[in-house]
């Protein structure tokens, strides 16, 4: 389901669970793992296997197995209803957020709460945004208003999280500890590497292939989009490029994250994150209702299971379309991270995205 690759045979690397602040670089640990050793193919496998495991888990949670022969129809129907009704959860925080969108009330209310983050984001390129919009259209055509499509201006890739779930005043302290100058250098790193004027932690920039038409330097590229979902929303996950003609000097997106983390740690800051994993995703929709899915009426168990099956089938159909069209050479999606718009530092209540105009700092975009 969702992949033609047997994830059981792929290299995998365990995510870093949320916890106390730390000075470890999880991204570098992945690179240095004896079974990886910085190999772009192994890094791609780690992201692929994690993505596929998450999708398989979501599908299993959504669809209970067929009833065994010895189980009564009524008892199985109750299990179906309970499973289905618990699977799609309207996001109450998003619903409230949407009601506040045109005011500053929400940020004022939440600035002292432990719900704010300090993060580095990348914005999707125009090519990627167009594809994400097409996927949104396919999914909302099926489920209607149950799924709120994230606005293009709010879509982002979370490259690095520096501090998670704190008050704004605490995040300002962390920001000051890292320092404006260092943060700007971090945001400019993709540009610096792409222009051939900097080395990422011992990797030497090299020219692109003779027919590539690229300036000398290094670019971190994401490829092979796939739809993922959970109880509250939908995302499109990418994996770091691994083909020789897509990887400069063996430098992947995960290497970029490791380099950024190293720069941050050199400031002496202790980084606390929500969840660090081999994952590169853009959230494209969140559930604000479950009417199409059957709602909360236990009497609608049969419809719920049918709707859940249709939802899963649509996810699989979209993923098959992505593999057939956008993984192949002719229209292959190649997202150079930091292209068109530079990396951004965002500070505050960023749970549902925000525009680039709200960034505290913006880096220089990567030349193509």
Tens digits of per-residue pLDDT, 109-118?
Answer: 666 555 689 9
pLDDT for residue 166:
76
In a domain, 338, yes or no: yes
pLDDT for residue 271:
83
Number of compact structural domains in the chain: 1
Q: Which of 361, 348, 360, 355 is nearest to 154 (CA)?
A: 355
What is the Cα–Cα distance from 37 to 39, expressed in whole angstroms?
6
In a domain, 13, yes or no: no
H-helix segments, the chain? 26-32, 40-62, 73-87, 92-100, 105-110, 126-143, 168-178, 180-194, 253-265, 301-326
Q: Which of 89, 142, 85, 152 is nearest to 315 (CA)?
A: 142
Q: Would you state the structure tokens that stand for residue 309, as one six-digit string?
A: 């099956």
pLDDT for residue 312:
95
| Tens-digit pLDDT profile for residues 280-310 | 999 999 999 989 988 655 455 677 888 999 9
pLDDT for residue 149:
97
Edge to edge, the sheet with strand 157-166 lists: 157-166, 116-122, 344-348, 361-362
pLDDT for residue 201:
61
pLDDT for residue 206:
40
In a domain, 196, yes or no: no
| Tens-digit pLDDT profile for residues 122-133 | 999 999 999 999
pLDDT below 70 — which residues of the chain?
Answer: 1-8, 19-21, 64-86, 100-115, 198-216, 295-301
In a domain, 200, yes or no: no
Q: Would you state the structure tokens that stand for residue 164, as one six-digit string?
A: 């998670």
Q: Which of 338, 345, 346 is nearest to 365 (CA)?
A: 338
Whole domain around residue 257: which residue ranges? 20-104+124-156+215-342
Our CA angle for 62, 67, 68, nearest 5°, is 135
Note the maximum CA span of the chain. Answer: 69
In a domain, 318, yes or no: yes
């Amino acid at each position: 389901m969702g992949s033609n690759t047997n994830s059981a045979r792929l290299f995998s690397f365990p995510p870093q669970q949320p916890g106390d602040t730390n000075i470890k670089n999880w991204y570098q640990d992945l690179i240095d793992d004896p079974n990886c050793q910085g190999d772009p193919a192994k890094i791609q496998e780690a992201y692929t296997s994690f993505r596929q495991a998450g999708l398989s888990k979501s599908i299993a949670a959504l669809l209970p197995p067929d009833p065994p022969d010895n189980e009564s129809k009524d008892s199985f129907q109750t299990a179906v209803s309970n499973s289905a009704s618990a699977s799609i959860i309207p996001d109450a925080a998003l619903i409230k957020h949407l009601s506040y969108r045109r005011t500053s009330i929400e940020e004022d209310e939440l600035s002292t709460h432990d719900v704010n983050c300090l993060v580095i984001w990348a914005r999707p390129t125009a090519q990627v945004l167009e594809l994400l919009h097409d996927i949104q259209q396919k999914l909302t055509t099926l489920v209607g208003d149950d799924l709120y499509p994230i606005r293009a201006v709010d879509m982002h890739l979370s490259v690095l999280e520096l501090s998670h779930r704190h008050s704004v005043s605490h995040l300002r302290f962390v920001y000051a500890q890292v320092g404006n100058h260092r943060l700007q250098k971090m945001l400019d790193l993709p540009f610096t590497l792409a222009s051939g004027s900097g080395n990422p932690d011992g990797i030497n920039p090299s020219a692109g292939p003779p027919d590539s038409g690229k300036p000398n330097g290094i670019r971190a590229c994401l490829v092979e989009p796939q739809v993922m979902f959970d109880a509250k929303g939908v995302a499109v996950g990418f994996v770091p490029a691994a083909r020789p003609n897509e990887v400069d000097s063996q430098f992947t997106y995960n290497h970029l994250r490791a380099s950024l983390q190293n720069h941050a740690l050199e400031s002496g800051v202790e980084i606390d994150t929500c969840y660090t994993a081999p994952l590169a995703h853009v959230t494209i929709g969140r559930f604000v209702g479950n009417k199409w899915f059957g709602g909360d009426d236990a009497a609608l168990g049969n419809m719920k299971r049918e709707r859940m099956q249709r939802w899963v089938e649509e996810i699989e159909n979209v993923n098959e379309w992505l593999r057939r069209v956008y993984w192949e050479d002719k229209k292959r999606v190649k997202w150079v991270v930091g292209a068109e718009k530079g990396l951004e530092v965002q500070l505050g209540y960023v749970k549902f995205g925000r525009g680039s105009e709200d960034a505290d700092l913006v880096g220089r975009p990567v030349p193509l």
